[in-house]
Amino acid sequence: MKLAGRVALVTGAGRGVGAATAALLAREGARVVVNDLDRGEAEQTVAAIGAAGGEALAVPGDVTDPVFPENLISTALDAFGSLDIVVNNAGYIWNGAMHNHTDEQWQAMLDVHATAPFRILRAWAPWLRSTAKAEIEADGVARCRKVVNVSSVSGTTGAATQIAYSAGKAAVVGITKTLAKEWGRYNVTVNCVAFGHIQTRLTQPYDGEPPTIEVGGRSHRVGLTTAQIDGVSQAAALGRSGRPEDGAGAIYLFCIPESDYVTGEVLTCSGGG
């Protein structure tokens, strides 16, 4: 168990890549704080981890709420006394041609993909800095802690109809590279995984009317046509789209001790597409 004795926080962990990541970190020995906007989904992830012999705590809530990040971090620290891994995974899509984007749409994508991770990491900073300084004074080195931010190939190469989403995901890359330089002194690695097509409810296949999800009382169209998914799969070197477990595996690489000297990097997880 590479993560025994560690405490991890995963946002957006009620479904998809987030749930798979929480389960994987728990299997490797971490105690996991599971955040999701949907309480029921968060509790299902916690129940699954518990059934597999792991330990987890559900902290449902909206990461875009300005006061929630402070509550999320304080709850994690109160429950487990430490926090060693933060995975900023929560997010959703709100697509449309650039000329149809509203200010609300633009801001919503920046809020969930850039501002929320910033606030979560800022809320973690006081405990992190004081703890690392105490460890350095006592042992000469701080325990290596990890941040993994989730971006997208839309943020690294762009994508039509996703100007706001792409801007938010590109901001995640900037946050990652800047914080890696600031927090290296505390022995914190800060890295990013940029996903290509992963099979989640945001990319579910459809023919006819697209499916929708509900976020903040608003319905958002999601999914890809079966023809689009076939095209993505054919374009990938591995000949398929990714599963949530594939995405979790990429995040996991930045959480384990073997990556303790890797920071400020962006790993593309796209099957070679």
| Distance of alpha carbon 108 from alpha carbon 103, whole angstroms | 8
Handedness of CA 261, 22, 203, 116 (dihedral sign): negative
So which residues are the catalytic ones? Answer: 165
